[in-house]
Amino acid sequence: MEIAYLYDAVYPWVKGGAEKRIYELSQRMARRGHTVHCYGMKWWQGENDIQIDGVRLHGICQPMPLYSGGKRSMKEAAYFAGKVLSAGVECEIVDCQNFPYLSCFSAKLRTCVKRRDLFITWHEVWGEYWYEYMGRKGAFGKYIEKAAARLTDKNIAVSERTRRDLERLGAKSVQVVPNGIDWQKIERIIPSEKQSDIICAGRLVRHKNVDLLIQALSMVKSEIPDVRALVIGDGPENSALKSLVRERGLENNVEFCGFLENYSDALALMKSSRVFASPSTREGFGMAALEANACGLPVVTVKHRMNAVMDLVTEQTGMVCEPTAEALAKSLCRALQKGDDMRGQCIEMARKYDWDEICERAERVYENGK
């Protein structure tokens, strides 16, 4: 097959869940003998078209800031969508990521003209969240999302939760192809010498609810005075979270590690911890939680209709609690008590999400959809 992936951000120049998914799948598809192209903004220096490990990268336009005022830029979305129209994408399989939406409509026009198969991969469905994100303008975002869900009968969801949300928008025959983990890489990682009881990893933004974790840790401290927690990541909430740690008197209990350029360092820290905390209320999949399971850590997450991490957690691999500091503190304490007994099942569950297995699944969906 000749496969094209469309997305404005390109790994490793931009690091995120969607970028990593395209990178992992494209590399493996190329090794399986398929011709693979990735069309995005030109984040690299040199020629517009380059080849890395058998994958052909096409920089169809100069990069623009993906965010404006902490939110996805509509100007950037429109700019990239316009460039997709003239990009010359002619592969038999075109897989366009649902964000930033407008490029999905450009891809539809391209594939209709060339009579190609359009797949749209959905990482999240926002629904009513559009109003929280954009205020009154959220009505426009909600309409665009619903229209995008009906552009093709070949929609791919990264989680069962996203599949259900898509079907509520009117999408038909949605296939689930989850994100994955590099199982062999994680298995080779040596635990860090820096040990912790609880670890959290992700961008420090409001919906990740790291403030809720800090509040819960002040309660955990009353039970375990020397509890130690690590927070990996950076973002606009960084200063406020550090201030909250000082207010709660947790300076000796919580350490901010910042953004780690080499993600192997984050995995090493996970391997030397005991519990992974994921208090986020908005996750399209939850790759960090799955990687934590692969490191042998039970995951504690919170109940919310937009939190797909809930779908990854079972009674044998973690806990799901109400999104309150009290409930989170109680679950963290229980997970610390039971963590050693859950380790083996956490690892076995995560093994099912190895990228090689996910690639086979994606390959079958593409072949059946031709």
Write out the two tokens for 20: 């990593």
Residue 294: φ, ψ to 5°: -65, -25
pLDDT tens, position by position, 68-93: 887 889 999 999 999 999 998 889 99
Q: What is the pLDDT of residue 15?
A: 84
Fold equal for 2-180+354-369 and 183-351? yes
pLDDT band at 115 (very low <50, low <70, confident <90, very high): confident
Q: What is the pLDDT of residue 174?
A: 96
d(CA 111, CA 268): 43
Give the mean pLDDT of the chain.
95
- Chain centroid to CA 92: 27
**What is the CB-side half-sphere exposure of residue 303 using CA atoms within 13 A?**
6
Q: What is the CA radius of gyration of the chain?
A: 21
Question: Domain-by-domain residue ranges, the chain?
Answer: 2-180+354-369, 183-351
Q: What is the pLDDT of residue 370?
A: 66
pLDDT tens, position by position, 155-204: 999 999 999 999 999 998 899 999 999 999 999 999 999 999 999 999 89
CB 94 within 8 A of CB 4: yes
d(CA 338, CA 129): 35
> Domain spanning 183-351 has what CATH number?
3.40.50.2000
Q: What is the pLDDT of residue 261?
A: 86
pLDDT tens, position by position, 209-220: 999 999 999 999
- Averaged pLDDT for residues 221-245: 96
> Domain spanning 2-180+354-369 has what CATH number?
3.40.50.2000
CB 316 within 8 A of CB 143: no
d(CA 58, CA 51): 9
- Averaged pLDDT for residues 258-282: 95
Q: Is the dihedral of CA 3, 6, 10, 11 positive or negative?
A: negative
Q: What is the pLDDT of residue 17?
A: 87
pTM: 0.89
- Averaged pLDDT for residues 277-284: 94
Q: What is the pLDDT of residue 71?
A: 82
pLDDT tens, position by position, 318-341: 999 999 999 999 999 999 999 999
Write out the two tokens for 272: 């030397």
Residue with tokens 């901010």: 256
The per-residue DSSP string of 246-303 comes to HHTT-TTTEEEEE--SSHHHHHHHHHT-SEEEE--S-BSS-HHHHHHHHTT--EEEE-
